[in-house]
A and B are shown apart, each in its own frame.
Chain A
């Protein structure tokens, strides 16, 4: 049994003990939570026959967003929650609680959103979004400012809610794989892999060795491409487009190589439950090796340019600080957590194949500012390049797909994407179809930290801080 079913009393005791929370979700009758228990993720659940459960949020602030989403989607109420406002439901769906056993029709006008207040002399509000000025995802930011200084930020998301979890139900893992692949397009490999590993655990199979190696290669390529992108955009937002231009060229060559090798620039729909969709095309491996060699060759120059321009460093250093204590309280993983001193990386702990043979050491900084988050990304590009050399050298031959038997089961996985750990849990019915599922992007634990990181900074630094955290909107909107 991969999950402990708790009584309501035991659930309440757990809520008070404040474990390092990874995720909370539900099905129509049960509440679930995942947290880290030492080196292993621990899954617990508790029946909620009367539609109520004890809230985690008083002890664990990150739980508030999950509990609001659970209320909106499944209609289960978190008793004692610190925030009862709707989250994903903006009052615009044709039904209430669409994931509950009996969604009711809903026809009234959407309510005005309520925002947390900031009171004091000279405080005024700036409302931004959902349509932003740049080419980014939609969301609403409500700033409270005094002069140029940010006093409070509240992010209101949910604009990209597509009903992803609902669309997965009743489908085979193979048919449902296109939804985790589109939870957050930039993390398509990582979420597809988390989903595939969870489905394989539920079905009691493992992917063939060649598929395992190919998946890891794709995941590291995805990490490099995204870290290059973030590096460029951070510099661009600090009025330094030269680095952005070069990282753009390097990334483009890598994506084109992926297009040849895997048939898709972002490698979407390539990782499937049981293995991978297609083998590496002829000539693809050489192009990828060339693109990676160009990146490796140019890294020192890009690092030197980024480090040696005082105007750029002036914008990055001591901007948007996330204190280590706060990152720990939110149990933040990924680049954001590691830049604030947390030595966490799902490839190392709990770990999964083939990373047990690749000696993954989490790269950390303690400053917690924009510069630290950029530095972690730079070092991780180098680490991914190192791992890719080893993966390519030892690429096994053979099958790339194991058939999934149609049987009942339950599985979960934690996979390190470029942002942080992507969590997936699912349960299959007797016919092997998905009965319940949850996908959690690492951004769930990063968005609240953005709200904290901007306090005391100036409005003009918000884009820079936002870019350095780079939360996914679609990833948390589901």
Chain B
């Protein structure tokens, strides 16, 4: 029967959360940074390639959750792609293990310009609890060459792991800064 399900859908509310708000000061700071680096704007749609650079898989659980019905990341024009060659954004998790560093650098090299880097989670920012281990570089901020960070993230989303809402908020900041 069509009518009962139609009636049910008319009176039920959507499962999806309202969009998380972005902070104006963060948007302005990022916009100024993008302006200064003279990077071409990409509009309100971003293709994201996720790279796990040695996480515990906690960040992956929460990144995956951004795609569930409740968070529905795609409604913001943000979607995950399978290849770095299709990506505008590299979403990096993990403390950058020495065993993953080359794969991460090669993924970056395969991503066309302009490429935005987003560090998701405390590990990707500075190594998190794994900082100082022989086996990790210590996040994207690690100096892999004297005086030079490995990759400079445009956005840092702290947390262990950050919640899906915090991850979406960070990505929306990236979108808002380009307007």
User: Which chain B residues in 91-111 approach chain A with CB under 8 Å?
Assistant: 94-95, 97-104, 107
Contact of A160 among B61, B68, B83, B94 (CB under 8 A): B94
Which residues on B sit within 8 Å (CB–CB) of A184? 56-57
Distance between Cα atoms of A475 and B140 in the complex (Å): 23
Interface residue count on the A side (C-beta < 8 Å): 47
Residues of the A chain whose Cβ atoms lie less than 8 Å from the Cβ of B99: 90, 92, 158-161
Specify which chain B residues have a CB less than 8 angstroms from the CB of A210 in the assembled complex: none
A-contact 0/1 string along B144-161, CB 8 Å cutoff: 000000000000000011
Q: How many residues of B contact A (CB 8 A)?
A: 46
Contacts of A160 in B (CB 8 A): 52, 54-56, 94, 97, 99-100
A98-B135, A252-B65 as given contacts; A138 in contact with B58, CB under 8 Å: no
- Residues of the A chain whose Cβ atoms lie less than 8 Å from the Cβ of B100: 130, 138, 159-160
Query: Residues of A at under 8 Å CB distance from B?
Result: 90, 92-95, 98, 103, 130-131, 133-138, 158-164, 166-167, 178-179, 182-186, 188, 229, 245, 248-249, 251-252, 255, 259, 265-266, 268, 472-474, 477
Report the bound CA distance from A265 to B163 in whole Å: 8
Compute how far the CA of A161 lies from the CA of B95 in the bound complex, rounded to whole angstroms: 10
* Bound form: Cα–Cα A268–B59 in Å: 12
The complex places the Cα of A92 from the Cα of B82 at a distance, in Å, of 27
Set B55, B60, B98: member contacting A93, Cβ < 8 A: B98
Asked whether B83 lies within 8 Å of A266 as measured between CB atoms, the reply is no
Q: Are B55 and A266 in contact (CB under 8 A)?
A: no
* Most interface-central of A93, A133, A138 (chain B CB within 10 A): A138
Contact residues of B with A, CB < 8 Å? 15, 50-65, 68-71, 80, 82-84, 94-95, 97-104, 107, 129-130, 132-136, 160-161, 163
Identify whether the interface residues of A are mostly helix, strand, loop, or mixed.
loop
Q: How far is the CA of A185 from the CA of B65 in the complex (A)?
A: 14
Known: A95-B134, A265-B163. 12 other contacts (CB 8 A): A92-B101, A93-B135, A103-B134, A130-B100, A131-B84, A159-B97, A162-B130, A162-B135, A167-B129, A251-B68, A265-B62, A266-B61
Which residues of chain B are near A90, meaning CB under 8 Å? 98-99
Q: How far is the CA of A242 from the CA of B94 in the complex (A)?
A: 31
Name the distance in Å between A276's Cβ and chain B's nearest Cβ.
Answer: 18
| Chain A hits for B63, CB < 8 A | 135
Residues of chain B lying within 8 A (CB to CB) of residue A93: 98, 134-135
Question: With the chains together, A446 CA to B4 CA distance in Å?
Answer: 47
How many angstroms from the CA of A460 to the CA of B61 in the assembled complex?
Answer: 24
Which chain B residue has the least Cβ–Cβ distance from A94? B134
CB closest residue in chain A, given B68: A248
Could you say which residues of chain A place their CB within 8 Å of the CB of B134? 93-95, 98, 103, 163, 166
Report if A185-B56 is in contact (Cβ < 8 Å); known contacts: A133-B83, A248-B69: yes
Determine whether the beta carbon of B60 is less than 8 Å from that of A245. no
A sample of 16 cross-chain residue pairs with beta-carbon separation below 8 angstroms, ordered by A number, consists of: A92-B101, A131-B107, A133-B82, A137-B57, A137-B60, A138-B100, A138-B103, A160-B56, A160-B97, A161-B97, A162-B95, A163-B134, A186-B58, A249-B69, A474-B55, A474-B56
* Chain B residue, CB-CB nearest to A266: B58
Judge whether B70 and A252 touch: CB under 8 Å.
Answer: yes
Contact A185 B68 (CB under 8 A): no
Pair B55/A249 contact, Cβ less than 8 Å: no
- Residue from A92, A162, A178 having most chain B Cβ neighbours under 10 A: A162
Looking at A166, A183, A265, the one whose CB has the most chain B CB atoms below 10 A away is A265
Determine how close the nearest CB of chain A comes to the CB of B171; give it in whole angstroms.
14
* Interfacial chain B residues near A182, Cβ < 8 Å: 56, 58, 129-130, 160
A256 closest partner in B (C-beta): B70
CA distance A160 to B95 in the complex (A): 9
Complex alpha-carbon distance, A160 and B51, angstroms? 12
A93-B136 Cα distance, complex, nearest whole Å = 9
For B15, the chain A residues whose CB sits under 8 A away are 249
Known: A163-B136, A167-B133. A259 touches B57 (CB 8 A): no
